[in-house]
Structure 1
């Protein structure tokens, strides 16, 4: 492999991925040190209050609890279905790799020989597949919680509010991981058409995620009041 054919891929694609990874590392740090400045910290705080509130008056709030969990299951199901459909579509495209290569070879920058094109598809498929797995695991935890949250409370029961909260946190953590993998795969999809598109789309993705992950307003509560462990 000659350097002049691959230097753009070796520079712009890793730099774009490192940009997304560095943003999530910084977001994780902010979620631990200033949890109420991020949507993750506030959401975790609300969920830890939600589970005991549902259990305390489950006879009247059981429909509300089931509907909320059903909505989460539907969201994870949609994302899992979309991810596996994209995998199937990419599999169909891979079967016609040579025709695709012939089309894009005259329109993109960077390397586009058979090896690189196969590597691109393999990386994209792996990310979407792991996103699918995260969402399916999230659905399994939510289904488990869907049953246990309506069980009668007993002093000797092992199904406590703390246990149910842990199940919900695991489900949301897997859901979040699946979503972030799904979002991070879109810049790599554009890698098929050139490394520059991957780099610029990574920048746009970080800007969009920043506006979604951080909140404005009162975030003066101390980190000692609550430290989220779901991100």
Structure 2
């Protein structure tokens, strides 16, 4: 049997995809069963507490929380636009006849027109999945803003937590789709770079997704004497408004305000 370089696409590419898919299935199992061992579970735990604390203040004072969610929407918008632009570029590239660059002799693998079409379609699918995921992240984050900015209403905390967590899940799915697209992008240059990228990506993601920090049970700080703080602030303001009273009281050793 004569070995042909086209066999590498049949062997290395499925193995690389199985490595990536198997790792993400294992990560999904950890997120569902042992969330404290993953960074995703750790971040979702912090998000739930953050939502709970933010809903304890008045709606008119939640500007900071709305700004945080708006930042997530802006980032998701940028990534969604980038994914759509790359998808359009790949679609235009498939329909053109300028793809002879990737049929050169330096590519050790199958360079037939049908295999090149499979590469482009797979890459296009990953970017479209990323685009849809970031759109859903924007949708969930916008719904969370609507809930958190609702005045004079007893909004259930679980409603806002669900919207925020759902947005973070779609954000993670969009990023994972981009990771897959990176591997498939290297497949254009041959199955060997794609396989090496798959193994390297899994090793890096395993280190980044593993959490060793124990989940902290956030507790509110001890109540301060707000009445004394308010009286001191009021005294200072009256001193600024009536400085002549402060000057007159210097000789007595005490300051009479007002």
Alignment TM class, shorter chain as reference = 0.7 to 0.9
Partner residue in 2 for 1:166: 162
1:211 is aligned, of 189, 207, 212, to 207
Residue 116, structure 1, aligned to residue 112, structure 2: no
List gaps (5 residues or longer) in structure 1: 222-231
Partner residue in 1 for 2:197: 201
CA separation in 2, counterparts of 1:161 and 1:11?
Answer: 50
For residue 69 of structure 1, report the CA deviation from its aligned partner. Answer: 0.2
Partner residue in 2 for 1:13: 13
CA separation in 1, counterparts of 2:206 and 2:153?
Answer: 44
Paired residue secondary structure (2:105): coil
Partner residue in 2 for 1:126: 125
1:1-231 alignment runs, 5 A limit: 4=4, 6-59=6-59, 61-97=61-97, 99-155=98-154, 159-218=155-214
List gaps (5 residues or longer) in structure 2: 218-258
CA separation in 2, counterparts of 1:154 and 1:60?
Answer: 12
How does the TM-score come out when normalised to structure 1? 0.85
Partner residue in 1 for 2:223: none
CA separation in 1, counterparts of 2:153 and 2:73?
Answer: 27
Contact 2:102/2:189 (<8 A) preserved? no
CA separation in 2, counterparts of 1:162 and 1:207?
Answer: 35
CA separation in 1, counterparts of 2:67 and 2:169?
Answer: 20
CA separation in 2, counterparts of 1:53 and 1:218?
Answer: 20
Q: CA RMSD in A?
A: 2.2
Number of residue pairs matched by the alignment: 216
Contact 1:54/1:61 (<8 A) preserved? no
Contact 1:83/1:131 (<8 A) preserved? yes
Deviations 1:162-216 (A, max 9, x none): 1111111211111111110111110100111101111000111112211211123
Deviations 1:50-72 (A, max 9, x none): 11211110346411111110111
Contact 1:191/1:197 (<8 A) preserved? yes
Contact 1:101/1:114 (<8 A) preserved? no
CA separation in 2, counterparts of 1:175 and 1:58?
Answer: 28
How does the TM-score come out when normalised to structure 2? 0.77
Pick closer, same or farther for the CA change 1:190–1:214 going to 2, 3 Å. Answer: same
